[in-house]
Structure 1
Amino acid sequence: MKTLLIDAGNSHLKWAWLTRQGMIQDAATAAYDASTTQVLDAAWLDMLPPQRVLVASVVPRFTTELTRWLAERWGCPVECVQSQAQGFGVTSGYQQPATLGVDRWLAMIAARDYGEEVCIYDCGTALTIDVLIQGRHQGGLIFPGSRLLQRSLWQG
């Protein structure tokens, strides 16, 4: 069974195939420089359909369009990953865990394997910094990324 893993960020779509053996293969990325349908058609139209799709998205509108595209083109269901209060050895520091971006949640789960005290930096459209101590999210910060900050300064 092949699973398509999708990370839909604010400006880029990233994906990779997960094999039965748990190996990642054929990772790729595409910028959102066109309509969702155009981006997906260009990236995936010639691919064989996966048996399972897992999506981590910080863009709700894109998630809706992606789910529709997958149903129409491949007829496969989509499982959307959400931030949780607890899971995989990590406890969210948010009173409302669903408000923590799923990208940050998954990064903390991955970072948990690197030690008891971890600081996670993610530099994308936004710069995020999160601290994890003994599996407990201590909090974090979010700033505009370099392009977003530059654009906002130019616009006044």
Structure 2
Amino acid sequence: MIKRSILLSLFVILSGCSSSTNFPIPGVNDSPDIQFNKLYLRGVFNWWEATSSFNFQQSSTGWYVDVELIADGQPYDFRVSDANWTPAQTCGAKYPGQPVNTDSVIYIVCNPGEKNLQFTPSTTGVYRFTLTPASGDEVALVVSKQ
């Protein structure tokens, strides 16, 4: 009888080790924190460079960059990334060429599978690209005319 109890206890313990968990384990299941202060708007308008004028700045409504764009009917391809194109700090489209519309929230992903976003300004002028934290590996992006 004791052998049976020990065997049953071992079976229960071992079966618990093989089950999957649905709760986060700190440092294992967490997405890396996006370091907004180290992000740059990078695209065809700045030769994909990480320059100080395209570094996101903090405001009360999120992190933003103002960019002067020409409305010539052609889309501007862009992404958001740190200076080193670190995969966990590079954010973009969920699919190639995903369009960004003025004053609409779009959720971009920050992971190695991201693609270029496309924004086509309706008029020439300064546009503000604003990022705010969302959930998981996503960030909310809004582009508005200034």
Q: Check whether TM > 0.5.
A: no
TM range (shorter): under 0.3
Normalising by structure 2, report the TM-score: 0.23
Normalising by structure 1, report the TM-score: 0.22
Q: Which has the higher relative contact order, 1 or 2, with Cα contacts under 8 A spaced 6 or more apart?
A: 2
Quick check: which one's helix share is greater?
1
Q: Rg: which structure is higher?
A: 2
